[in-house]
């Protein structure tokens, strides 16, 4: 999905909601517990329940890799089930020397058919550039994350400003707003105004809404640009809205509430 298609989808649905499919086999609702196909059935039910209110899905690959080869198969089947009408993110946080990054990019873009992948910029330009070489595919680079450990490196003073600001400024020159996004955590909302000044045109993938306590209103008011420029992710709040027979209906209600609020900010 290219940039213009993503923007149009956001406008058509009046939503910039991304649903995180961080499916934990231990947290499946009661009706699916013990079912060998439970994870895939759960994913399909969540996708069906949220298709109309979200524009993107984010698959955290760790939850699937931990299941071995079966997990990879479920991940591939989930991507196929979602289809081409939604922007699909592999939350894999890859990044290595050029040849290795190229293989990662080929795996997720050509084989699994994701639209984008999260990338760590720690090893520099040659570790990110291979992800930017695929037409209509995106690298979503870690900028300022929502975890407590962000203070260990991202917030360190570096020549008078936090390290993450140098990362945003430098990485933004490696690609364009058509193939490059940044991860900025919702719990870092006080920094969004300044971050938007550094990267005025790029999309931000914003985790941390819902269970992690981020404010959708604050993020929207401080970080939205003329093209919206946001994909706001919610995972646990939607996935585990209910553990009973009504899990899909509960997920639909929560996703619908997010979409309705988002519509008021557009």
- Spell out the long-range contacts of 216-224 with Cβ–Cβ below 8 A and sequence spacing 24 or more: 216/186, 216/258, 216/261, 216/262, 217/261, 217/265, 218/189, 218/192, 219/186, 219/189, 219/192, 220/262, 220/265, 221/265, 222/189, 222/192, 222/193, 222/196, 223/184, 223/192, 223/193, 223/195, 223/196, 224/265
The C-alpha atoms of residue 44 and residue 77 are separated, in whole angstroms, by 9
Alpha-helical regions (H) of 66-215: 69-82, 98-105, 125-128, 150-153, 163-171, 192-198
Q: How many Cα neighbours within 13 Å face the side chain of 231?
A: 26
Q: Per the structure block, which two tokens stand in for 65?
A: 């890799």
Which of the residues 11, 13, 44, 93 is marked catalytic?
A: 93
β-pair partners for 228 = 225
| CB of 88 closer than 8 Å to CB of 19 | no
93 a catalytic residue: yes
- Catalytic site positions: 93
């Amino acid at each position: 999905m290219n940039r213009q298609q993503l923007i149009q989808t956001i406008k058509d649905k009046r939503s910039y909601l991304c649903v995180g499919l961080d499916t934990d086999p231990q947290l499946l609702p009661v009706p699916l517990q013990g079912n060998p196909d439970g994870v895939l059935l759960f994913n399909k039910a969540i996708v069906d329940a949220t298709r109309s209110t979200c524009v993107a899905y984010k698959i955290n690959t760790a939850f699937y890799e931990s299941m071995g080869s079966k997990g990879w198969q479920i991940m591939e089947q989930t991507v196929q089930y979602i289809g081409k009408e939604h922007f699909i993110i592999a939350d894999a946080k890859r990044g290595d020397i050029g040849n290795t990054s190229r293989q990662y990019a080929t795996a997720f873009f050509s084989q699994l058919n994701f639209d984008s992948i999260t990338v760590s910029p720690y090893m520099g330009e040659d570790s990110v550039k291979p992800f930017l070489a695929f037409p209509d595919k995106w690298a979503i680079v870690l900028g300022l994350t929502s975890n407590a450990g962000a203070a260990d490196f991202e917030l360190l003073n570096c020549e008078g400003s936090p390290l993450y600001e140098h990362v945003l400024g430098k990485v933004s020159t490696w690609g364009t707003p058509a193939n490059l996004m940044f991860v900025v955590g919702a719990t870092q909302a006080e920094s969004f105004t300044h971050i938007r000044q550094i990267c005025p045109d790029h999309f931000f993938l914003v985790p941390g809404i819902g269970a992690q306590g981020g404010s959708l209103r604050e993020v929207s008011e401080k970080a939205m640009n003329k093209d919206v420029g946001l994909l706001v992710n919610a995972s646990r709040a939607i996935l585990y809205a209910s553990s009973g027979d009504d899990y899909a209906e509960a997920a639909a209600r929560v996703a619908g509430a997010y979409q309705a609020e988002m519509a008021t900010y557009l």
